[in-house]
Amino acid sequence: MFPLYDRNKSATTPLVTWALIAVNGLVFVWEAMEGFDPSLFWRFGEVPAQVLQGQQLYSLLTSMFLHADLFHLLGNMVYLFVFGDNIEDRYGHGKYLLLYLVFGVAGGLTHSVLTVLMGGSDMWIPAVGASAAISGVLGAYVVFFPRARIVSIVPSFVFVRVAPVPAWIFLGFWFVLQLLYSGAATSVAYLAHIGGFLTGVIVAKIFAPQSRVVRAPPFFSRRQAPRWERPSCAYCGNPLPADAAFCPVCGHRRLT
C-alpha cells in the first residue's frame, strides 16, 4: 500500500513539515550538483562502526537530510506530507521539530547498534535518508489517530485501486513489513525504521499533549441533548462529549 492523503484535517498550518520537505529537497539538489559524490555520503552519512566508536556523531543528524536517489527522496517526502501535519498540529511547531530530530537519532542509533552486533560489512556502509525520523512520526500517528482514514493505493490480485484504509491497519501492515525485511540482505536500513517507529510510539504514549477542554454549562451536556444533536467525530464516528477538544478514541482535534 502507498499513501496518497489522509482524511484527517489539521487545525494549524504545518509550517515545520513544509520546511522539512523544502530542506530535504534543497539538499538533494545540492547532492545532484555535486554529482552524488560518494565522499558526501562518507562525510555526512551515518557509518555504524564509526558512530559506535564516537566518531562523526554529527552524522546522526546530517544523514537524515541526505537521500540516495530521487525515488528515495519522493517516497520519504510523501509519507512526511501525509502524516506529519497532524503530529505537528498535536505537539506544536517547536516540539514537533525537536521530536522529529529525536526520532531520527533514535532510529539511527538502533541501526548502528544492531548492525554492529550482527557483524558483517554493513557496519561500514553509510546510511542516509529521513526514513528513521519519519518512522517516528508514523509511530506517533498510530497512537493519536488509529482510526483516521488513509486514502491509499491498494494492490489486489488483479487490479490496483484507491481506497481509504484505517491508520492502524495501514501502519500496522507497514511495521510488519519492516520486521520481515529487516533480516533480508538489502540496501534499506529497516532497523532504523523500526527504531524510529517504536520511539514515536513510546513518546506519544508518555508525552501525549493534554486535550484542551472547554467546560460547557450542564444543560449542554450530552445526556440532555437530543440524540440527533449529539456531536460525533468526523473521522471515527465516536460520540463526542460536549467539553472535549479532542476525540477520546482517535485523538482527532475537534474543529469548531
Q: Which residue has the higher pLDDT, 5 or 230?
A: 5
- pLDDT average, residue stretch 43-63: 94
Cα–Cα distances in Å, from 31 out to 26, 39, 48, 113, 160?
A: 9, 11, 22, 27, 34
Residue 176: how many CB atoms within 10 A of its CB? 10
Q: How confident is the model at residue 251 (pLDDT cuts 50, 70, 90)?
A: low
pLDDT at 153 over 80: yes
Residue 6 has pLDDT above 70, yes or no: yes
Q: What does the DSSP assignment read for the chain?
A: -EEEEES---SS--HHHHHHHHHHHHHHHHHHHTT--HHHHHHHSB-HHHHHTT-STTHHHHGGG--SSHHHHHHHHHHHHHHHHHHHHHH-HHHHHHHHHHHHHHHHHHHHHHHHHH-SGGGGS-B--SHHHHHHHHHHHHHH-TT-EEEEEEE-SS-EEEEEEEHHHHHHHHHHHHHHHTTS--SS-HHHHHHHHHHHHHHHHHSPPPPP-----GGGSTTTS-GGG--B-TTT-PBPPTT-SB-TTT-PBPP-
Nearest-angstrom CA–CA distance, 9 and 145: 11
Residue at 243: amino acid letter: D
> What pLDDT band is residue 43 in, cutting at 50, 70 and 90?
very high
Q: Are 164 and 236 in contact (CB under 8 A)?
A: no
2-206 homologous superfamily: Rhomboid-like (1.20.1540.10)
Pair 244, 222: CB distance under 8 Å: no
Q: The cell 486535550 sits on which residue?
A: 211
Is the pTM above the cut of 0.85? no
Q: How much is the pLDDT for 83?
A: 96
pLDDT of residue 212: 44
Task: Give the lowest-confidence range in 102-111, 129-138, 185-194.
Answer: 185-194
Which residue has 511547531 as its cell numbers?
Answer: 93
Please name the amino acid found at residue 162.
Answer: V
Instruction: List where CATH 1.20.1540.10 sits in the chain.
Output: 2-206
More confident residue, 184 or 174: 174
Mean pLDDT of the chain: 85
Mean pLDDT of 47-67: 94
Q: Please state, in angstroms and rounded to a whole number, the distance separating the CA atoms of residues 166 and 169.
A: 5
